[in-house]
Chain A
Amino acid sequence: MADTITKADIIKPENLVYKKTDLLTDKVLSYCPGCGHGTAHRIIMETLDEMSLQSETIGIAPVGCSVLAYEFMNIDMQQAAHGRAPALATAVKRLMPEKTVFTYQGDGDLAAIGTAETIHACNRGENFTIFFINNGIYGMTGGQMAPTTLEGMKSSTSPYGRDLEMMGHPLKITELIAQLPGTYYVTRQAVHTPAAVRKAKKAVRKAIEMQKLNKGLTFVEIVSNCNSGWKMTPVQSNHWMVENMFPFYPMGDIKLEGELVKK
């Protein structure tokens, strides 16, 4: 007769296979089930924990779905006005250059209302890290069209699909900022599969490590699903993301050690 595994066995320390990092609080996430934000939070906080950086990190999250990030990230945090996080981070890092500083921004925040702050912080080569969650939609306000919304993609303000003639083109801001001499490391990742999560986490670590070199801005885009805003199930939305978002926003490094990666 096979041994029965009891709960008491499972919770034995030697059987521990995964533990939530202490750098995430116990607060229940406000993100929709199935959304990539939770995983993105986790890999950033795990990385800071593994690098023992809690006591020297200042995080900045502006307006959007991540407006309450300070409730989940167990570090000192500042909540910024819509789009302005890179301006805050600029001052924080310049006034306290020894600290680790990051912003965590969505696509509407970073690529629409905060375009000027983003471009200029990148161009000045500020030594902080931007984590950019791109799901092609304004999630927090209820699924409106974002600067990154794909052609033909439906949203609550493009209910018949994004019409390029009427609404303009989706903005590849990550490719754009990679052109600027102030950026040192620019990469695009995703967190929809275990393999993607491992890769994305490596990119997060690289960005933080490179921040310490003081050679310029480090930038990690995470293309994510928004199952609520896209009006799909989580699984459907991940399939849709792979089929539609990835061709337009291709995965991988765009700039390494200050040099554009040749495709």
Chain B
Amino acid sequence: MKKELRLMKGNEAFAEAAIRVGVDGYFGYPITPQSEVMEYLTAEKPHERTGMVVLQAESEVAAINMLYGGASCGKKVMTSSSSPGVSLMQEGISYMAGAELPCVLLNVVRGGPGLGTIQPAQSDYFQSTKGGGHGDYRLIVIAPSSVQEMYDFVELGFKLAFKYRTPIMVQSDGAIGQMMEKVEIDEQQKRFSEAEIIKNYPWATTGKTPDRERNIITSLDLDPARHEKHNIELQKKYRKIEEKEIQYEKVQCDDAEYLFVAYGTSARLCLKSIQLCREKGIKVGLLRPITLWPFPKDIIYDMADQVKGILSVEMSAGQMVEDILLSVKGKVPVEHFGRMGGIIPSPIEIADMLEEKFIKG
């Protein structure tokens, strides 16, 4: 039951949600445009509210490894960062995927490559959905497009992280992180006691008691046959996630002759572009992937039977468009439109681009 309404920044909503869902530990390192997460958490004194630990690490490398240590103990742990910082975390993310450790990560994406810019971008799609670190692994990637979803996806993230014992990436961007909107706040949930952790997560390293074998958390296995088996099990898990966890939103798709596919800030812009197009008599809908991985490929495949063209809108050089192309399997033309380097396109630009690519041409 939603209890309380507040006006908050996306980053603050994410931080408040962390306290409310009973997170045990947050470990982070400052980077624009997401520093409000740790600033909010330290100001809120969550150690007094719930006993939550908040620690500023010496680097993103250390922060992600603190998550590895905490998650190994069955604790709910999280971090947040922005693109260059998330690049530094890739080693630890790969280890956590390999060791099957749950955690929630937030990337408030900014423009790259390199130090890039502090303005919003969506150019980390490849990194999040295709690997990022080494080895055959996947992250569940969920993309909020409102401040409310920045709040809600913390709980959703932990639900999925512990269900599948895997790291979750909440893929936001500088606009969603910095903008203020009203947020419905849930009631405070309790953190798990040690007894509850031992009961719920029998794999956790809580200290070897006489009633069980020792628990070992590792991503290492020097025996190739056993290690291949571990990889096969990981892939089975990923197939199950693809089968069960795809989430998306359809907007004005019923009569659509053209389709925008966009997430996060781009999806919000497309809502206005739909209106502009429809005023001109062009029937456009929006398919918003909520899970970027697993990607909603079946619904996009189905929509390709209905529409004459699909425009992927992403603040990048065109990353998600590759997954759309794979989903559509050549049934209809697929084009990409995006701005880069921290530029947010205008709804008019997007609407004009749809016309230019599919109608005027």
Contacts and interface: CB of A to CB of B under 8 A. Distances in A.
Nearest to B24: A95
A65 interface: no
A112 interface: no
Contacts of A117: 58, 61-62, 65
B117 interface: no
A70 B215 CA distance: 9
A84 B217 CA distance: 14
Contact of A84 (B27, B92, B194, B210): B92
A95 B25 contact: yes
A89 B220 contact: no
Contacts of B219: 79
**Residue in A89, A90, A119 whose Cβ sees the most chain B Cβ within 10 Å:** A90
A96 B206 contact: yes
Contacts of A78: 68-69, 72, 205, 216-218
A60 B76 CA distance: 19
B17 interface: no
Contacts of B222: 68
Interface string B9-53: 000000000000000110100000000000000000000000001
A87 B206 contact: no
Nearest to B204: A76
Given A81-B92, A116-B58, A91 B27 contact: yes
B155 interface: no
Given A95-B25, A116-B61, A117-B58, A57 B207 contact: yes
A41 interface: no
Interface in A62-98: 67-68, 70, 74-81, 84, 87-92, 94-96
Contacts of B62: 84, 87, 90, 116-117, 120
A88 B216 contact: no
A56 interface: yes
A91 B67 contact: yes
Interface residues of A, number: 32
B77 to A, nearest CB: 7
B208 A95 contact: no
A78 B66 CA distance: 12
Nearest to A61: B218
**Residue in B57, B62, B99, B217 whose Cβ sees the most chain A Cβ within 10 Å:** B62
A57 to B, nearest CB: 6
B68 A80 contact: yes
B218 A90 contact: no
B91 interface: yes
B174 interface: no
A167 B206 CA distance: 43
A215 interface: no
A42 interface: no
Contacts of B344: none
A91 B208 contact: no
B143 interface: no
Contact of A67 (B53, B66, B67, B220): B220
Given A84-B65, A88-B68, A88-B69, A94 B55 contact: yes
Contact of B73 (A55, A96, A120): A96
Given A76-B215, A78-B205, A91 B69 contact: yes
Contacts of A119: 58
A205 interface: no
B214 A120 contact: no
A84 B57 CA distance: 12
B95 interface: yes
Given A80-B68, A81-B92, A87-B69, 18 more contacts: A67-B220, A76-B205, A76-B214, A77-B217, A78-B68, A78-B216, A78-B218, A88-B66, A90-B69, A91-B27, A91-B70, A92-B69, A92-B72, A95-B25, A116-B61, A117-B58, A117-B62, A120-B62
Closest 7 CB pairs of A and B: A88-B69, A79-B218, A87-B65, A91-B69, A76-B205, A91-B66, A120-B58
Interface of A: 54-58, 60, 67-68, 70, 74-81, 84, 87-92, 94-96, 99, 116-117, 119-120
29 contacts: A55-B210, A56-B207, A58-B205, A58-B207, A60-B69, A67-B220, A68-B220, A70-B214, A74-B214, A78-B69, A79-B99, A81-B65, A81-B95, A84-B61, A84-B62, A87-B66, A89-B69, A91-B25, A91-B53, A91-B55, A91-B68, A91-B69, A95-B24, A95-B53, A95-B77, A96-B73, A99-B206, A116-B59, A117-B58
